[in-house]
């Protein structure tokens, strides 16, 4: 249960109406229910991105989708795998080997819009086949019903309106739909062999221990951000980010938002704490979201949409995929983009507790 400006209540018991201690029927009759709001349950989505944007892995209840940068896998206009390809495809192999019962495997090539449609279509097909052939050499695919296709420039992740966006659209997408999704561990894997291991990227802002907090500046006013701990619960980590100041602070609209090149097609709320990522090596764990009845992504967490009052503490609940660690690091990138400047800060040594 998410409590605005308080946190998350876990393990709330469900009782029958007779044990509730109040007249449930009367309470429902008196309630004003917004009929436009559709009830769940909704599917939760986890997204892990390599810090260098070379790959990303999205998991939901039934499938895993891995996107690998075409610029890492191939040279320009080529369908011959590069020397780095095996390292990147190692992520897909790790995912495949989680499911001994196999399932369905779809490999799809995508390009940007620089060349004409026919050329891009052919290139995307050849690249998808090259990835499929190499995966078959790296691991056994006999248990997987595999389809290989190319989409050319027809299904971009983002608009082809900049060099950076075109780079995001040049990719090979691998979708695993296992016969038995429960065979995998609830801990979300890293964003790839290349993305998960190694040193963390350099911080973009002040650094300090999460429980102690770090001094930041918001609209020219000093404030403090902290994260005391996170709680592990059924494959997720739940925490409450706290922001405070001894002065009144005007909170910019996009203060806690992630840079737009990591949004992909997610229309997350501007007030959500989407920029609060967990950093494990070179893998960046984004906040958990869910897909609503309109097939739109909604952040599973709290919002920061009011200005700070003096000596007040704002609490923003956040949920992440489980990194599998005993302590975690929260990192906010703080890059400038079309929405403005986002907060940059890194909180380290945040303890993980069990329910």
Q: What is the mean pLDDT of residues 60-74?
A: 95
Enclosing domain of residue 261 = 207-354
* Nearest Cα residue to 254 out of 231, 232, 236, 271: 271
Reported as a pLDDT band with limits 50, 70 and 90, residue 138 is very high
Q: Which of the listed residues 127, 161, 196 is the one where a domain comes to its end?
A: 196
| Domain membership flag for residue 32 | no
The winner for highest mean pLDDT among 93-102, 185-194, 331-340 is 93-102
Last residue of a domain, one of 196, 215, 248: 196
Residue 51, phi-psi category: left (phi > 0), alpha (psi -120 to 50), beta (remainder): alpha
Question: 220-270 pLDDT, tens per residue?
Answer: 899 999 999 999 998 999 999 999 999 998 888 788 888 777 766 566 666
- What mean pLDDT do residues 93-111 have? 96
Pairing of strands 283-285, 103-110: unpaired
Tell whether the model's pLDDT for residue 13 goes beyond 80. Answer: yes
| The Cα angle at residue 278 between residues 274 and 284, in degrees rounded to 5 | 85
d(CA 318, CA 286): 10
- Spatial neighbors of 14 by CB under 8 A, at least 6 apart, are none
**Minimum mean pLDDT among 50-59, 120-129, 208-217, 288-297: which range?**
288-297
Kindly state whether residues 217 and 282 are assigned to the same domain: yes
143 and 250, same structural domain?
Answer: no
| Calculated CA dihedral for residues 252, 56, 288, 292, nearest 10 degrees | 100
Residues 211 and 169 in one domain: no
The answer to whether position 173 is within a domain reads yes
Number of domains in the chain: 2
- Mean pLDDT, all residues of the chain: 88
| 8 A C-beta contact, residue 88 and residue 194 | yes
């Amino acid at each position: 249960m998410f409590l605005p400006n308080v946190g998350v209540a876990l393990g709330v018991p469900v009782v029958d109406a007779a044990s509730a201690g109040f007249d449930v029927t009367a309470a429902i009759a008196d309630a004003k229910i917004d009929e436009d709001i559709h009830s769940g349950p909704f599917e939760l989505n986890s997204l892990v991105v390599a810090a260098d944007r070379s790959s990303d892995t999205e998991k939901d209840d039934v499938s895993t989708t891995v996107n690998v940068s075409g610029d890492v896998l191939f040279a320009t206009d080529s369908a011959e795998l590069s020397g780095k390809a095996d390292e990147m495809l190692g992520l897909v192999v790790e995912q495949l080997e989680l499911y001994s019962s196999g399932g369905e495997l779809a490999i799809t090539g995508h390009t940007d819009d620089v060349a004409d449609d026919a050329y891009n279509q052919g290139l995307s097909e050849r690249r998808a086949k090259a990835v499929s052939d190499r995966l078959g050499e790296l691991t056994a695919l006999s248990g997987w019903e595999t389809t290989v296709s190319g989409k050319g420039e027809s299904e971009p992740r983002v608009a082809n309106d900049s060099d950076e966006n075109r780079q995001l659209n040049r990719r090979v997408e691998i979708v695993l739909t296992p016969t038995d999704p429960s065979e995998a561990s609830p801990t979300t894997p890293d964003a790839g062999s290349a993305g998960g291991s190694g040193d963390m990227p350099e911080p973009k802002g002040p650094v300090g221990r999460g429980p102690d907090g770090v001094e930041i500046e918001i609209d020219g006013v000093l404030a403090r951000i902290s994260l005391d701990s996170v709680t592990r619960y059924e494959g997720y980590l739940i925490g409450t980010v706290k922001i405070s100041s001894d002065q009144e602070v005007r909170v910019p609209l996009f203060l806690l938002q992630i840079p737009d090149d990591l949004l992909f097609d997610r229309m997350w709320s501007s007030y959500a704490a989407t920029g609060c990522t967990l950093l494990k090596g070179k893998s960046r764990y984004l906040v958990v979201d869910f897909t609503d009845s309109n097939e739109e992504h909604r952040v599973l967490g709290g919002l920061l949409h009011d200005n700070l009052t003096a000596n007040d503490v704002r609490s923003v609940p956040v949920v992440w995929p489980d990194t599998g660690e005993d302590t975690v690091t929260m990192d906010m990138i703080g890059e400038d983009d079309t929405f403005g400047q986002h907060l940059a800060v890194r909180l380290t040594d945040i303890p993980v507790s069990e329910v």
